[in-house]
């Protein structure tokens, strides 16, 4: 296994760290945020805008690309980077989450999972080996193991079975991955919900198998935040310090600060992009809903503290008008702002860790904004 991750700075008073994640398509500075491009496109934005915003890595979804246009089709077109014309790192989710959350008629066997396509009901059987093969065909820089998780909340017995099965599937995925000469990395996903012992068992099993990176899966499904943070706190000393850690699908900024403090390096979430399309915007003073009538005659920028194209150029009144008229430009301009807001927070997080001031930054974010404060409409 080639060394693909280097820690470059550590916060003296917490587990926060900066690092460089090397991939076949370049390096990513961590902590990093991956905008979600499920179908190979960050909704509303061209890749040129992503580059301008400083996006270092995106996430595509193997489940969606496997259904349409198909992994073989993407491979025939030169792999995902060439197919979507994105030269930088790409991580693919294995599809486990989509199968267990979106597909009807899911049935799990030791061999794999049978489900019906959410598009047309076609029955599909997917094994952990298939998930590796699909991602190899896509040619992403980082592939994820197929994991199994039960719906939240799960009993301890159900969760134990899920952890054990996820471990066995991870071992099979690793064996399949090793049959290929490829620069693609394979990362393991731990399950265990918020049961500390099961989560620890899940992590230990993955580490015995050995992966390029380790993800926390099955979180952010409605469990209390205190329990989620406890999982990260207990996972931190268990996980190898020289491998990247990825918290899957979690994305309120205030939670991201908590996770970074507990040693997490990589994040993805649909929140900034999906909320942008719904007219919910993250600002330095909390979340706002641009459709609020009070913005109808407001000539000010969306966020005085933001330097993005949207805030530099347009008024709240215009952004509200675009949203109310259902203009495509509304989704575009709102997404530019929300992604800039996220990426800017990650830049500040990295800088603060490097200058030993992460805890100060975290405190200032909590008191000045934050994310917890939501405007009522
Ligand atoms: Zn802005």
Query: Distance from the CA of 49 to the center of ligand 1, in angstroms?
Result: 14
- What are 299-352's pLDDT values in tens digits? 999 999 999 999 999 999 999 999 999 999 999 999 999 999 999 999 999 999
The list of the chain residues with pLDDT below 50 reads 1, 370-372, 376-377
- What are 238-269's pLDDT values in tens digits? 999 999 999 999 989 999 999 999 999 999 99
Give all strands (DSSP E) within the chain, no chain letters: 5-10, 17-23, 26-30, 32-34, 58-61, 90-93, 107-108, 113-116, 123-126, 142-144, 185-190, 213-216, 245-247, 266-268, 280-283, 286-289
Query: Distance from the CA of 303 to the center of ligand 1, in angstroms?
Result: 6
**Residues β-bridged to residue 245:** 214
Query: Distance from the CA of 337 to the center of ligand 1, in angstroms?
Result: 4
What pTM did the predictor assign?
Answer: 0.96
Query: Distance from the CA of 116 to the center of ligand 1, in angstroms?
Result: 41
Query: Distance from the CA of 50 to the center of ligand 1, in angstroms?
Result: 14
Q: Supply the residues annotated as catalytic.
A: 93, 268
Give Cα separations from 273 to 72, 151, 296 (angstroms). Answer: 29, 25, 23
Cα separation of 279 and 27, whole Å? 33
């Amino acid at each position: 296994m080639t060394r693909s991750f280097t820690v470059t700075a550590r916060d003296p008073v917490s587990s926060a760290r900066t690092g460089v994640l090397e991939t076949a398509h370049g390096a990513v500075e961590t902590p990093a945020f991956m905008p979600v491009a499920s179908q190979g496109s960050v909704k509303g934005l061209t890749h040129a805008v992503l580059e301008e915003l400083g996006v270092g890595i995106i996430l595509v979804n193997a489940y969606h690309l496997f259904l349409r246009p198909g992994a073989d089709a993407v491979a025939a077109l030169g792999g995902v980077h060439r197919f979507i014309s994105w030269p930088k790192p790409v991580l693919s989710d294995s599809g486990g989450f989509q199968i267990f959350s979106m597909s009807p008629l899911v049935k799990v066997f030791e061999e794999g999972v049978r489900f019906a396509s959410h598009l047309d009901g076609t029955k599909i059987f997917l094994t952990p080996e298939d998930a590796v093969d699909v991602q190899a065909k896509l040619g992403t820089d980082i592939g994820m193991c197929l994991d199994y998780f039960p719906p939240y909340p799960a009993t301890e017995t159900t969760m134990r079975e899920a952890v054990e099965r996820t471990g066995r599937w991870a071992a099979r995925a690793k064996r399949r991955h090793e049959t290929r000469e490829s620069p693609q990395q394979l990362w393991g996903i731990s399950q265990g919900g918020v049961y500390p012992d099961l989560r620890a068992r899940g992590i230990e099993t993955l580490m015995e198998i050995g992966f390029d990176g380790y993800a926390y899966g099955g979180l952010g499904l409605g469990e209390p935040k205190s329990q989620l943070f406890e999982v990260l706190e207990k996972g931190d000393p268990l996980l190898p310090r020289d491998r990247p850690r990825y918290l899957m699908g979690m994305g309120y900024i205030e939670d991201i600060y908590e996770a970074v403090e507990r040693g997490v390096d990589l994040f993805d979430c649909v929140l900034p992009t999906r909320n942008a399309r719904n007219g919910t915007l993250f600002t330095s003073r909390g979340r706002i809903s641009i459709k609020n009538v009070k913005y109808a005659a407001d000539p000010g920028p969306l966020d005085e503290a933001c330097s993005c194209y949207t805030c530099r150029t347009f008024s709240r009144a215009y952004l509200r008008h675009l949203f109310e008229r259902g203009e495509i430009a509304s989704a575009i301009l709102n997404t530019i702002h929300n992604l800039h807001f996220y990426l800017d927070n990650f830049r500040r997080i990295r800088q603060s860790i490097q200058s030993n001031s992460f805890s100060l930054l975290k405190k200032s974010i909590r008191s000045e904004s934050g994310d917890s404060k939501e405007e009522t409409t």
